[in-house]
Structure 1
Amino acid sequence: MPARKAFALRLDPAIHAAVERLAATELRSANAQIEVLLREALKERGIDVRPSAPPRRGRPPSGAAGS
């Protein structure tokens, strides 16, 4: 998986509690639930956010940089 962007997020405790409850019902972490909610909100506003490309697996081709 590509590196994730980490940043501090300040939330009203009531919002955080609601996100945690929703996450628990959908068997997700609070972090994953926030990402789902953000993606849904962006999509609703017509902003297309495609998932990042999956990581490449296996050995790099011979002659690749760093080998």
Structure 2
Amino acid sequence: MSQKKKFLLRIDPKLYETLEGWAADEFRSVNTHIEFLLREAARKTGRLPSRTQEKKEETD
């Protein structure tokens, strides 16, 4: 498994509270939920391959 990049994120406290509740609803940590949201946004805009494309590349 590859190492994860670490970085500091400064975020508005109200937004953090919102993310904290949202993450809890999804049974995720805030950190994991932020990563999930960013990954989904990147996929939707075509900046990151979809999961099916990633699996296809692994088998080729």
Band the TM-score falls in, shorter-chain normalisation:
0.7 to 0.9
Gaps of 5+ in 1: 52-67
Deviation beyond 3 Å, 4+ runs, structure 1 = none
2:42 paired with 1:16 = no
Structure index of larger Rg: 1
Q: What is the aligned-residue identity percentage?
A: 43
Aligned residues: 51
More helix by share: 2
Paired residue type of 2:5: K
Gaps of 5+ in 2: 52-60
More relative contact order, 1 or 2 (CA 8 Å, 6+ apart):
1
Query: Offset of 1:3 from its aligned partner?
Result: 1.2
- Deviations 1:28-47 (Å, cap 9, x if unpaired)? 00000000000111112111
TM-score with structure 2 length normalisation? 0.74
Query: Offset of 1:49 from its aligned partner?
Result: 4.7
TM-score with structure 1 length normalisation? 0.67
